[in-house]
Structure 1
Amino acid sequence: MKLLKVFISRIFIFGMLIILQMIWIVLMTSSVLASYQWLNTALKVLSMAVVLWLVNKDENSSYKLSWIILILVFPVFGGLLYLMIGNKKPSRRLRHRIQHVIDDIQDELIMEDEMSDKDEQFKKDGLTYLADLGFGTYTNTQTKYYALGDYCYVDLLRDIMNAKHYIFMEYFIVARGMMFETILELLKQKVQEGVEVRFIYDDVGSLTTVSYRFEKKLEQAGIQCVVFNPFVPMLSVAMNHRDHRKICVIDGYIGYSGGFNLADEYINAKMRFGHWKDTGIRIEGNGVWNLTTMFLTTWNAYKHQDQSYVQYRPTFNQKDTLLNDGYVVAYGDSPLDEERTGENIYLNMIQQAKHEILIMTPYFIIDETMMKALILARRKGVVVKIITPGVPDKKNVYRVTRSYYYPLIQEGIEFYEYKPGFLHAKMVLCDQRIATVGTINFDYRSLYLHFECNVLLTQKQTILDISKDFKETLALSEKIDLKYSRRFRGIYEAILRLFAPLM
């Protein structure tokens, strides 16, 4: 019975279709090349032209190098393969669909109390940069940091139960199980109470975890649904651009983000890779607006609903102001533009650091620019500590992550591995003053291909909570020494690193 389920699953069927396409292309090309010798030369010329074009292209150097080597190793098919799947830009259809909505919402992106130009420090923190991209910075906002998805889940359920007007949810992975089933029953209940419920999930992220046409089941329950960038079993770069965001907005004044998806392992109700260490953040107040506009941009790109965005702005049944001790800005990253927002914020925090940079990340696959920034920070006397998983969820990615240890440890950067299990948290804390928490990993997919979101903040109490969590996680982690890290630099790791940007 289990074997039958595998054979009729979407991932198996789609995988077989892609393999058949590859076989057909190779056979057809080989047949044509045997009949037309000139075509062999033409394809090699095409490959060389693509290599020269890549050399001159304003592109991530590691990504270019991976493709150049691949093309030179396979000069007949390499150039053609790059033209088919090598371009990192989203499909024209996806770009047009979302860009049209971004243009419509542009005037509504930043609320009146946005305050990113208040002083020189704000500019140094990158707030003016984010404001230019449409992400306002707010003070009338409270935040709460969660050291585990387990803790965040409890508050999320409570806030969903208390929703009065609408609930927006956007997640990369949705999996049937205790966590999602509980949330689903609450959403059905809220629909019966007249609350508007909208739900977005990524098709590839949930390819193996929900049934085919799962969105129809949600809609039958009154839950409006969008499946982001549905996966079509074709050899196409379009499958690379996924919605990796985790967003929940409730009535406009409560928002959630972080690393956790809607699946049981994220709250340790199911153990897949030991104890699952994740983080989350709750926002209450005007700062939620950025999350709302991110959600509505994606939603309206698919649903084409002509509605006023203003009606979804934060509304308060409380006193006029919320107690807060710093600013908050939720920001997104998108492959639709040339801005590498997530990477730029990380780089800016590293470059601005004077005393200490603390990082938690599940994947550490960086380019030369990020590596130099970390090394320069350490040479300035900045303490750099990085925690990665002790138990991998993807073995090859884990091996690539470990391959970066040795050269950075040589520079005095400290690496630790979380021994109880898999660490999925994405967090950077700079000088005990400014932090960012969210969905953006230190890898090529997060930084260049996916739709992502993070929350940048300076609120003192939340910073203290983040610092405390890092110290407690550090106590559960093992420090990697220079001698031990040498074993992670074999030939296989070198090959993996070479092609890491293509994974």
Structure 2
Amino acid sequence: MENEEKMGLQLLKKGQKGLIHALFSRLGLFILLLALQVLALFSVFRWFEGILPHILGGTALYTIGMVLYLLNSRLDPTAKITWLIIVMLFPVFGAILYWFTTCDIGHKAIKERTGQISRLAKDRIVQDPAVQDRLEKLDPGAASLARYLRRNACHPVHENTAVTYFPFGQDKWEEMLRQLEQAQNFIFLEYFIIDEGLMWGRILEILARKAREGVDVRVMYDGTCEFSTLPHSYPKKLQELGIRCKMFAPVIPLVSTHYNYRDHRKILVIDGHTAFTGGVNLADEYINHIEKYGYWKDTAVMLKGDAAKSFTLLFLQMWSIDEKEPAFDLFLSVPVSAPEHSAGFVLPYGDCPLDEDHVGERVYMDILNRAQHYVHIMSPYLILDGEMETALKFAAERGVDVKLILPGVPDKIAPYALAKTHYASLLSSGVKIYEYTPGFVHAKVFISDGREGVVGTINLDYRSLYHHFECAAWMYGVPCLADMEQDFQATLEKCRAVTPETIKKEKWTLKVMGWLFKAVAPLM
């Protein structure tokens, strides 16, 4: 009984999880279609020998048409090359794969609705011109980034916000519990992964109690949880506790692809004045209660003050996708008092994969392009397009100290092998790369010149930069930037440096795997 109380509220019986994780990813589909094409070619050669020239001629014309279409598409150059290779090698099934993964199958309604919601959300939080002017006088380059985010991500830059940085998931969790206990009006949670255990059990215990007390408690999680951690009936179980719950975009086999347009965000908002974001999901490995891939290194921030309202709006935008009238004003009109120790500027922002504006990537590239002394980065993955790789290399070639901390223990072998294919090129330009030896790095952190930083959910890979709903907090001149840099340096002490010699010593199997996956990197 004592152990159950410690674990918090558990709704599932031991062993009761979601369906076995299905391979509805684009990579899984690619492998399936490749096998089908080989089988189809064998059948054609065996049974249709008489009309084989006509079939090959038709296939050649179709392939030429697809190549011309791809060359004139608006895909980024790296993705174009990948699709050209796939379509030329496997014409029929390559084309099927392309249309299946790029035509928003199962997501057209969401695409239209997110556009409508974005227009409704615009200017809901008005930019204080005095704040923008103060940033302009302090740093015109940073102010230009704030203007871009205001225009394209619909969120203003704020003052009067105290930021607390958490160097590990367990630090964030402990503070989450304290802040949740103080909730009086509403609690909004939006997470990519929720899994029953100690972390979620203790949180859920508070949520259920707060719901009974009349607090408006809402939980939203991504539909892939149904295939990995939670059963289809889980929203109903939460609703029985008085908690409003939605599952974003449930995966529908043969209609949805597993990795397309997932809600990768991690947001907690309490009463409109306190917000959390970062890499930490609601599962026990994120707080090192259980070990999956060595010691789990993750980070998060807590915002108290004006900027928390932007996370309220970000949550409500996703929550309102299936509702007729978003209740923005009801929650955004809540007064927020200025906290102590709130120097600097904070700008929360989101990134939507259903438009053509890759906000997350542009913020990272802008920081790299404006840096004068250093850019220090932590990311779990390194699957780069040409533009991002060029930005990293160009910054280093300008004399900027560019350091990357990546996992020493991977969670997935394919992305790990792919990351290593970038090492030699980056090192040749002066980028310094380190691998975290105690375990897995899941943090998404940028720190530049001691004055600017980002903490959020956005990885340095195609899925985050192009295919997921994401969020982050951009910060300028806030005191916690010193804590972020201190944590980076402390983490660096637990890393091994990547050098040309260590690259040569890598296992040949890992190198071959990286070379093979490189051709289909945008699909991962």
Instruction: State TM-score, norm by structure 1.
Output: 0.91
Does structure 1 conserve the Cα–Cα contact (< 8 Å) formed by 2:24 and 2:256? no
Amino acid at match of 1:131: R
Give yes or no for the alignment of 1:494 onto 2:494.
no
List structure 1 runs of 4+ shifted beyond 6 angstroms.
5-8, 17-37
CA distance in 2, matches of 1:131, 1:89: 30
**Aligned-pair distance for 1:42?**
3.7
Where 1:11 maps in the other structure, the secondary structure is coil
Aligned counterparts, 1:65-144, within 5 A: 65-87=81-103, 91-112=107-128, 115-118=131-134, 119=136, 122-125=139-142, 126-133=145-152, 134-144=154-164
Asked if 1:470 is matched to 2:488, the reply is yes
Matched with 2:471 is 453
Q: Tell me whether 1:55 sits opposite 2:55 in the alignment.
A: no
Distance 2:494 2:40 in 1: 55
- Hey, what's the Cα distance between the residues in 2 that align with 1:252 and 1:310? 11
Distance 1:374 1:306 in 2: 40
Q: CA deviation at 1:103?
A: 2.1
**Preserved contact between residue 203 and residue 228 of structure 1 (Cα < 8 Å):** yes
Secondary structure at the aligned position of 2:122 is classed as helix
Alpha carbons of 1:471 and 1:443: their partners in 2 closer, same or farther (altered >3 Å)?
same
Q: State the shift of 1:52 in Å.
A: 1.1
Q: What residue number does 1:251 align with?
A: 271
Aligned to 1:240: 260
Query: 1:235 and 1:25, CA in 2 relative to 1: closer, same or farther beyond 3 A?
Result: farther
Write the deviation string for residues 429-474 of structure 1: whole angstroms up to 9, x where unpaired: 0111100011000000000000001111124420110011001000
Q: Answer whether contact 1:172 1:202 (CA < 8 A) is retained.
A: yes
Judge conservation of contact 1:145–1:282 (CA < 8 Å) in 2.
Answer: yes
* TM-fit CA distance, 1:312: 3.2
**1:393 aligns to what?**
411
Q: Which runs of 5+ in 2 are unaligned?
A: 1-14
1:364 maps onto 2:382 in alignment: yes
Q: How does 1:2-81 map to 2 (within 5 A)?
A: 9-11=19-21, 41-81=57-97
Q: Aligned pair in 2 of structure 1 residues 161, 108: CA closer, same or farther (>3 Å)?
A: same
Measured after TM superposition, the shift of residue 47 of structure 1 is: 2.7
Q: 1:233 to 1:21 in 2, by over 3 A?
A: farther
Q: Which residue of 1 aligns with 2:11?
A: none
SS of the residue 2:399 aligns to: coil
Structure 1: distance between partners of 2:166 and 2:301: 6
Alpha-carbon distance, 1:58 to partner: 2.0
* Matching residue's letter, 2:112: H
Deviation at 1:92, TM superposition (A): 1.4
The alignment partner of 2:205 has SS state of: helix
Shift in Å, 1:43: 4.3
**Residue number among 378, 383, 390 corresponding to 2:396 in the alignment:** 378
Cα distance per residue 1:384-403 (max 9 Å; x no partner): 11100110000111111122
**Cα separation, 2, equivalents of 1:161 and 1:334:** 32
Residues 26-425 of structure 1 mapped to structure 2, 5 A cutoff = 41-87=57-103, 91-112=107-128, 115-118=131-134, 119=136, 122-125=139-142, 126-133=145-152, 134-237=154-257, 239-316=259-336, 318=337, 322-425=340-443
SS of 1:116's equivalent in the other structure is: helix
Preserved contact between residue 163 and residue 250 of structure 1 (Cα < 8 Å): yes
- Say if 1:324 and 1:459, in contact at 8 Å, map to a contact too: no
Q: Secondary structure at the match of 2:356?
A: coil
- Once superposed, what is the RMSD of the aligned Cα atoms? 2.9
DSSP 3-state at the match of 2:519: helix
Aligned counterparts of 2:320 and 2:16: Cα–Cα separation in 1: 35
Change (3 A) 1:466 1:191: same
CA distance in 1, matches of 2:61, 2:130: 54
Count of matched residue pairs: 496
Displacement of 1:274? 0.8
CA distance in 2, matches of 1:439, 1:162: 26
- Relative to structure 1, is the Cα distance of residues 18 and 129 closer, same or farther in structure 2, using a 3 angstrom cutoff? closer
d(CA) in 2 for partners of 1:427, 1:253: 23
Over residues 476-500 of structure 1, what are the superposed CA-to-partner deviations in whole Å (9 max), with x where a residue is unaligned? 1111122112345833311111211
**Conserved? CA contact 1:360–1:428, under 8 Å:** yes
2:449 maps to which residue? 431
Cα separation, partners in 2 of 1:58 and 1:144, compared to 1, 3 Å: same
Stretch of structure 1 that moved more, 46-55 or 339-348 = 46-55
Contact 1:113/1:138 (8 A) holds in 2: no
Q: Partner of 1:265: helix, strand, or coil?
A: helix
CA distance in 2, matches of 1:250, 1:483: 50
CA contact (8 A) 1:146 1:281 kept: yes
| Residues 226 and 232 in structure 2, CA contact (< 8 A), matched pair in contact too | no
Deviation track 1:151-196 (CA, whole Å, cap 9, x = no partner) reads 0101101111110000000000010111111111110000000000
Q: Which residue of 2 aligns with 1:440?
A: 458
2:7 corresponding residue in structure 1 = none
Q: Could you state the TM-score of these two structures normalised by the residue count of structure 2?
A: 0.88
Distance 1:494 1:23, change over 3 A: closer
Deviation at 1:304, TM superposition (A): 3.3
Query: Against the structure 1 CA distance between its residues 428 and 198, is the aligned structure 2 distance closer, same or farther, given a 3 Å change threshold?
Result: same
Q: How has the CA–CA distance of structure 1 residues 84 and 195 changed in structure 2, closer, same or farther, with 3 Å as cutoff?
A: same
356 and 19 in structure 1: CA distance in 2 versus 1, 3 angstrom threshold: closer
Residue 116 of structure 1 deviates from its aligned partner by 3.1
Pair 306,426 (structure 1): closer, same or farther in 2 beyond 3 Å: closer
Residue 20 of structure 1: how far off its partner (Å): 13
SS for the counterpart of 2:21 is helix
Separation in structure 2 between the aligned mates of residue 441 and residue 497 of structure 1, nearest angstrom: 18
Q: What do the CA deviations read for 1:320-375 (whole angstroms, capped 9, x no partner)?
A: 56432200001111112111100001000001011111011110111111111121
8 Å contact from structure 1 (residues 123, 129) kept in 2: no
8 Å contact kept, 2:67–2:84: yes
Q: Which residue of 1 aligns with 2:3?
A: none
- Quote the offset at 1:206 in angstroms: 5.0
Question: Contact (CA 8 Å) 2:455, 2:473: kept in 1 or not?
Answer: yes
CA–CA distance in structure 1, aligned partners of residues 423 and 460 of structure 2? 14
Q: Is the 1:90–1:241 contact (alpha carbons within 8 Å) kept by the matching residues of 2? A: no
